[in-house]
Chain A
Amino acid sequence: DTEVTQTPKHLVMGMTNKKSLKCEQHMGHRAMYWYKQKAKKPPELMFVYSYEKLSINESVPSRFSPECPNSSLLNLHLHALQPEDSALYLCASSQSGAVYTDTQYFGPGTRLTVL
């Protein structure tokens, strides 16, 4: 089983709202990732958690705040977003937390629209 789940599937929010995206995996993977993907572009890495600790932050604006409450769960808290933040937000996980050569498995994504 290589399933990564994400909720919600779709999210529409105003620029003053606070919302959260959730990602879950039960494969025992030790690394989890957040990506942002705009139309007709490849995924762009935002954050990497390794063994539940933030190990990579790709200079993402502070209006995006990641959280890893446990080894199976990854959240992305959103606050004061801009319309240009509208995109598909993808969560991924990989088995090893120490070496990023492992295969990354993607969840179905959350389609975010910021009005």
Chain B
Amino acid sequence: QKEVEQNSGPLSVPEGAIASLNCTYSDRVSQSFFWYRQYSGKSPELIMSIYSNGDKEDGRFTAQLNKASQYVSLLIRDSQPSDSATYLCAVNQAGTALIFGKGTTLSVSS
């Protein structure tokens, strides 16, 4: 059974701090890794995709992938109250469906 694990949270950080969201996956041959943000009652919105080991930065967001440890993370710098949402980690390999973690709820206090 392929699994994607996330700490459900809530993760609470003050405004301006760095939020660190973590995700582990069970299938070693996974190839593609995604972070989606989902506000309550809304649909998932892509934040980052990452395919190779290392860091990928986009604005205040940095995704980190370590395939040897089967670990992917998302760092949010200078967290804002508008970042408060559920963050879904998703993983797949060629020819298979996207597998979602249960999501981590982030709360940024002003």
Chain A residues closer than 8 Å to B68, beta-carbon distance:
none
User: Which of B32, B43, B92, B103 sits near A107, CB closer than 8 Å?
Assistant: B43
Q: Is the CB of B98 within 8 A of A104?
A: yes
User: Which of B36, B49, B95, B103 sits near A100, CB closer than 8 Å?
Assistant: B95
Q: Is the CB of B96 within 8 A of A42?
A: no
Chain B residues closer than 8 Å to A103, beta-carbon distance:
32, 34, 46, 49
CB distance from A72 to the nearest CB of B (A): 19
Interface residue? A66 (CB, 8 A): no
Chain B residues closer than 8 Å to A60, beta-carbon distance:
none
User: Which of B43, B46, B51, B95 sits near A90, CB closer than 8 Å?
Assistant: B43
> Interface 1/0s, chain A 11-54, versus B by CB < 8 A?
00000000000000000000000000000011101001000000
Of all chain A residues, the one with the shortest Cβ separation from B102 is: A42
User: Which of A48, A108, A111 sits near B97, CB closer than 8 Å?
Assistant: A48
The residues of A with any CB-CB pair to B shorter than 8 Å are 2, 41-43, 45, 48, 56, 58, 88, 90, 99-109, 111
